[in-house]
Structures are given as structure tokens and as C-alpha cells.
Structure 1
Amino acid sequence: MIEDLQLETLINVVYEYYGFDFGSYSRASLKRRVDRIYQLDGFTRFSDFLSKIRSEPEYYKRLVEEITVNVTEMFRDPSFYECLRTEVLPNLAAKPFIRIWHAGCSTGEEVFSMAILLKEANLLSKSLIYATDINAKVLEKARKGVFGLQTIKQFAENYRNSGGSNDFSDYYTANYGLAKFNDEFSGKMVFSQHNLVSDGSFNEFDLILCRNVLIYFDKDLQERALNLFDSSLSTLGYLALGSKETMKFAPISDNFKQLNKEKVWRKIK
């Protein structure tokens, strides 16, 4: 493993050369991910690693991509999606237009999961999903709506466990080992880069999902992101976090009421 002092040096170099601040990321998580790429790319001297980052912007992009990528799947945590299906979407149905923000959308599996829920609730036609991530590489994959067929069995099982009753294969076309999800879904999505560390609010949303992203941030950055979500959410809108994330101790917690055991809060003021 790289040493703590080396990690701090890396954080300073990245900020000095590229203006990106890893300083608020959880040190333990950041250290694991930096060490992984350090070993993967065969470095034996930390000075060579730093030199490559300084002198090669493309390698810096690779570093950011490796550090920020998240593991995800469609209908991950089925009980969470059941909550969206039964408690959240019915309350949004009366709105003339529904705006949803997936912050830290990674490779898009959860974005397409949401689109399927909207379709089954007859809300897709009047909805727009903004899907953002800091990582341009995963956004490019997400835009395509193409996933390996080897993952579809698990996705379909998650879907059924979330309360889905349709034939999951109706939602994609299979070809050459890949599943491409229907264009009616991607037509209701806008993908763009957004940095939760430094970028601001860009719309007023009825539902914001940021699942399993805040666990990589320290307390100050978590609060900054939660404040951003608060200012981006309409009154009586919903905020969904990951299974190990909470806003219980955040300064804005009084603005929200938790729905149930799932990590979904409603903005009450």
C-alpha cells in the first residue's frame, strides 16, 4: 500500500495541476483505489507515478476514472425500488411534469431501472431523467443503454423482487451477447458531467437519487452534497440515498422526514 504522506502529496499534485480536489474523499477508500491503479499499472516508485500524472493529462483522466467508478446493477436493493414503486411515484403522478436527478449515475443501470418504473406507472411520457457523473467514461457507457447478457439474469431477478410483474425481456433487444434497452427509455434521459465537489444546482427536481456515492466522501463533503440536494429539490420532493448512507446528523435533516426503513426522505420545508 502507498503511504499516507504519499497519498497527501498525490492529492496536492492533482489539485495544483488539474484543479480537482480529492481532499474531501474518505482517505481509506481513496487509498485503496489509488493503490489499486498503482499496482495495476506496474509502478515501483511513487515518484514515477506522480510524474506520469503531472505530465500526461490522459493518464490523469484514467486515474480519476479508476477512483470514481462505482459498482452497480439494475434494481439493486429490490426493496428500495419497491418503495419507489409503491410510495414515491404514486405521489408524483399528479404533477404535470416530473424531473428526476440521478447524481453519480455510474454506468447507468439505476437510471434505466427508474425509466422502467416510470413506464410501468404510466409516467415515462411526462418525465425527464437527468443522469450525471464526474466520470466521462462511465457516462459514455450509460448513454448507450447496453449491458452484458450475463448480467441480465440478476437484473431480472432484482426486478421481480422489486414488485415487477412484466416480462423483463420486453424492455431490451438481445444480440451478440449484449442487451440493448429500448430507445423509449434513453429518449427520456439527459446525461452530463457534474462534479458534486464543486458544481452547483442546475434545476429543481421532484426526486433526487444519489446512492452509494456519499460513502466515499468525508463528513464535510457529505454535508456539502446534501446541501446541494436540498437546494435542488422541490418542496415535498424526495431524496434517496444508499443503504449505508444517512442524513440523520446533517444540519439540513430537519427539512426532511424519512419515509420508512428504506433510505428515502421527503422534503417537508
Structure 2
Amino acid sequence: MALIRLSLLLTLLTFALSTNAKRYIGGDQWNRPRINKSFFIKQDKFIKELILRTVKVVNTKQRKVGTAFFYKENADHYIFLTNYHVISGNRECRDSKLLLINSDFNKRYASCDGVIQEGTIKSGSDYIYFKVNKEERLNFLSQISEVRTDFSDPVIGDRLVSVGFGAGKANRRRYDAKISMDRDCLYLNGNIDITFNKDKVRDVFFTACDAQSGDSGSAVMNLETGDIIGLFFAVADQKRSNPLTSKEIQDNLGTDYMEFYTNASMSIDLRKIKLK
């Protein structure tokens, strides 16, 4: 087992953060439809809430796009979670403009009001909690269920779903979210510590969900339970056009198949990111 784990860590040095990767394909097909009003109104409560809590992050100084999601609220603020490499501290918070949609599929705008807590790759994670001032046009967030962190371990093969702004335009007025929820968007394995640029990222799980630059910071939801289980942060640096086929996924579920670690999209277990 020690040799297997060592091999995994050496192999994982080739992984790239999602902001540096053009596109990751899990399974045989690329399937990330754009979310519009007609799509939204047909979804069940779980999917609707996932879409409503998902936020487009536009860094106006660097002209880059990322994703965040509503985590909880307190008396004065709504609190959101994303990756540190999406909003790297208070300076980038001040430069970040946010876009959401409400339950009527109308656009709502907000700004990052400050960083509450952060964890960098060097510290063993990749997250940042930031706050947004409460105001009337964001009241719909108070109707969304708070994220639970007491969920049970996901089961290998559980179907997942993620909403993000991969390939989105660096324009706060353009709502261009996409959803990954095809038959290959599955929980493959976890939790494992990986090595990234000589630093260790803890409690990572692996999926075959299609992803794209700009999806960093997306919530990963378990379709079987409705629980948000992870914070998406990285994808494999694919060397082939489609290195993990649908047949490979189905044939090797429940095993330590090496391709599940070296050719996957990656998220941090939400239970391990504790808001102080």
C-alpha cells in the first residue's frame, strides 16, 4: 500500500489547477449544457437550489472568471465559499464583482465585502470564505437550505452534479453558467492527500465530471442525497483527447484503478473545510 500511495503522489505532480486547464472530459462525451430559464424551471428542488446558490465571480483587474457558492448567512452578511486561487485575499476581493440569478431567473448583482477565512495550497487546501452585505435584492438566498457538513461518506458510483462558469466571459452582465450532470459525472474515489507542486492538498476526492476553466470554486452535489459534498478546485492535465472512457469508468468502479487518480476532476471534501 505504501508503494501504491507513493506512486500516486508522484503521478499527481502533473495535475493542473482548473484556471490553467482548457477543458477536462470525463467519459466518452462532453456534456455541459448552458443554463437558461426554460432549463431552470424544469428542475427539481435540489438542482434549482444548486443553481440559485451558484455565483459568477468576475475579477475585474485580472479579467478572469471563477465560481463560488452560497454557504450560510449571519445577521449582516451572506457567506460564500470559493477557491483561494479564484479570490486570493482581500485585495482581489475588492476587485471581484458577483452575478447570481433569483428564483424568477432575474439577474442579481453583488460585490465581495471582505474575506473571513482562507486556506492556501501551501497550508494544505485551496479555499476562501468571503462575505456579501445583506440587501433586499438578495433576500432569495435566505430561502435556500444551508449547506450541511454532517453528511455520510459518498458511495463509489454515486451520481454527482456541478454548476459553474467554465469558459464564461469576464462580464458580470452575462449569465453563462453551465451544468455537469451526465451519466459519467460520478464519484470515483476519495479521500486522498495529493502532492501539487511539492505541497500537499488534503482530503481530495476524484470524479469524472466534465469541467472547464472558470469552474474553480463550484459546489459538487451528490444527486443521490442532495448534499453538497465538495469544493471543486482542479482537473487532470490531460495528455490524451479523452483519457478516461465510459467503459473504463463502469468496469473499474470500486477498485484502485490508477486512471481514476491521474485522469479525473478533483474536489476537496467539504467536511474538512471548517468555517471558524
Same fold by TM-score greater than 0.5: no
Structure number, greater radius of gyration = 1
TM-score scaled by length of structure 1: 0.28
Larger helix share, 1 or 2 = 1
Larger strand share, 1 or 2 = 2
The higher relative CO (CA closer than 8 Å, separation ≥ 6) is in 2
TM-score scaled by length of structure 2: 0.28
